[in-house]
Chains A and B, each alone.
Chain A
């Protein structure tokens, strides 16, 4: 989606070298933290996607005689209490954590964008939708998430299998409870855009509303959406790890970063290094994503750009 809209203004502009997205990229490049963050995030994503092909050790393989080992050539990050390879488990866990983060972000951002655009564009829907948003903001989210996960885990696991069921549940629960900020931001951006002349012009030549929204409004409110999408990945990863850390996330034999941390806490006294890898992975991912979000926000703010 991003690429398609990124190309279109470039082709339409008289001087393709200075399109809006080129400017954004130029400003983004000057934010050193954001560049480093983007690089680290890409490395982590590549590591968890490509890594299992290079390091073919199975994350579920139990070698009870090699349990609780320190780092060695056989096991670069050591093994856990059942002799499972920690490097393979960290990569497998990262795949789930990143997948949950990205999917939950996509869900919450689509929900937030839909509600924000509807509330901003149709005046009749504005008041009820924003009241609903306020109500959701007043909900105690973490307690409700915990309750949702415990109550619906078994029935969903029964229907879709333990892994897919928990994935659907956690992604759905996080997505359903984190769209409010995006909705508010998108609504205010839509309110500003819809009063401008080009929307009036489109309206006056008889463009239908749906086309105005998709063709004229959405591309113009894309930058706040992208910023909150980036920050949404970070918060979704943290929420998933927190649920797993409290023992209410994925099933025990199914590694995620939060789950690995939760399992390692039991052996904190004897093998303190084991909490380090999943914890570092979560922290680095979230930190780099937050930096990218920070850089994007600066880059897309026309008041700062060109400085």
Chain B
């Protein structure tokens, strides 16, 4: 198992290098000039100096290698230095955002908690809703509950989040006035009142994302339960005289959860991608909104870094899914 994990981690390095090259080239070969927003009154020789100061004069491969060094060596050093107070990163060039002139990592660190709160909470809620629905739908296949559950989950992953989100704002903010339509990120939770305010503003984004997640996971849960319910070991368990609860919730559920857990792990990175839209709808200033504003402002370092962080998440959770599958299912051996 350990050798498998090490081998997969080593294999992830060329994958990530390739993805970083793809992201770098896509942004580098694209038309568009970071200086196009500058006033036309700047003389050409000054403009040329600005270009060189931004590092745009070097050949492409030099810039790629420099970017790699910044991303993989300098930034981690700075993060460690900030956390421990050691002086190991002084003088190392950081990845600077062209919009704000501050290090990209600092801005991301400011935005990350909002995304993690909303996305993490919605994924948790989605899983907690999806599992019981999937179990009951499979146990009572073709019953009314199953039919309704199938329809709701079909609706859940067909209706895009930017429509459910807007619809919820229309109903619950405009008509009923229960929840605020805009997420207030300056809110600090210090007493019960502000805590309730935080809960109220999180309800709608979390509900939108968790409906979408629950729809997909409950389908997988149902299919996986159906695969197991007709197996011989279930009949054996019933013949032993175990109660129906024990048969379904212990014997069948444990085996059915194995593929579902990997699906849950595989879904984590796509959730970050889907959150881009939801964050835009509810004006949550998380990573997704940061990406959109960076794209609008032609802020290449920020876009590259964010896209690469999403790529790392995908590779990482693919690995996690495979490892978890191997740990949970004793039939799978990676040696």
Contacts and interface: CB of A to CB of B under 8 A. Distances in A.
Interface of A: 33, 134-135, 137-144, 146-148, 150-152, 154-155, 234, 238, 241-242, 245-246, 248, 258, 261, 265, 268-269, 272, 275-276, 279, 282-283, 286-287, 290-291, 294
B310 to A, nearest CB: 3
A287 B295 CA distance: 31
Given A268-B166, A268-B174, A272-B175, A286 B31 contact: no
Contacts of B320: none
Contacts of A276: 167, 170
Contacts of A144: 23, 26, 307
A163 to B, nearest CB: 19
Given A146-B292, A150-B295, A283-B158, A155 B31 contact: yes
Interface of B: 15, 18-19, 22-23, 26-27, 30-32, 151, 154-155, 157-160, 162-163, 166-167, 169-170, 174-175, 181, 269, 273-274, 276-277, 280-281, 291-292, 295-296, 298, 303, 306-307, 310-311, 313-315, 318
Contact of A234 (B158, B175, B296): B158
A282 B311 CA distance: 29
A283 B273 CA distance: 20
Contacts, number: 121
Given A135-B18, A261-B166, A275-B170, A142 B276 contact: yes
Interface SS majority for chain B: helix
B307 A143 contact: yes
Given A242-B277, A268-B166, A291-B154, A147 B315 contact: no
Given A146-B276, A150-B298, 6 more contacts: A138-B15, A139-B22, A234-B158, A241-B162, A265-B281, A287-B154
Contacts of A245: 160, 162, 277, 280
A248 B295 contact: yes
Contacts of A155: 31
30 contacts: A33-B154, A134-B15, A135-B19, A138-B19, A138-B318, A139-B22, A139-B311, A139-B314, A141-B273, A143-B291, A143-B306, A146-B292, A147-B295, A150-B296, A150-B298, A154-B31, A154-B32, A234-B158, A242-B162, A248-B295, A261-B162, A265-B281, A268-B166, A268-B169, A268-B170, A275-B166, A279-B163, A282-B160, A283-B155, A286-B158
A137 B162 CA distance: 24
B304 to A, nearest CB: 9
Contact of A142 (B162, B273, B298): B273
A138 B311 contact: yes
Contact of A279 (B167, B181, B295, B298): B167
Contacts of A269: 174
Most chain A C-beta atoms within 10 Å of own C-beta, residue among B175, B181, B277 = B277
Contact of A282 (B163, B269, B291, B314): B163
Nearest to A135: B18
A143 B269 CA distance: 12
Contact of A143 (B151, B160, B170, B310): B310
B273 A140 contact: yes
B166 A290 contact: no
A171 to B, nearest CB: 18
A287 B162 contact: no
B27 A147 contact: yes
Contacts of B22: 139
Nearest to A273: B170
Contacts of B27: 147, 151
Nearest to A270: B174
Most chain B C-beta atoms within 10 Å of own C-beta, residue among A140, A245, A246, A282 = A140
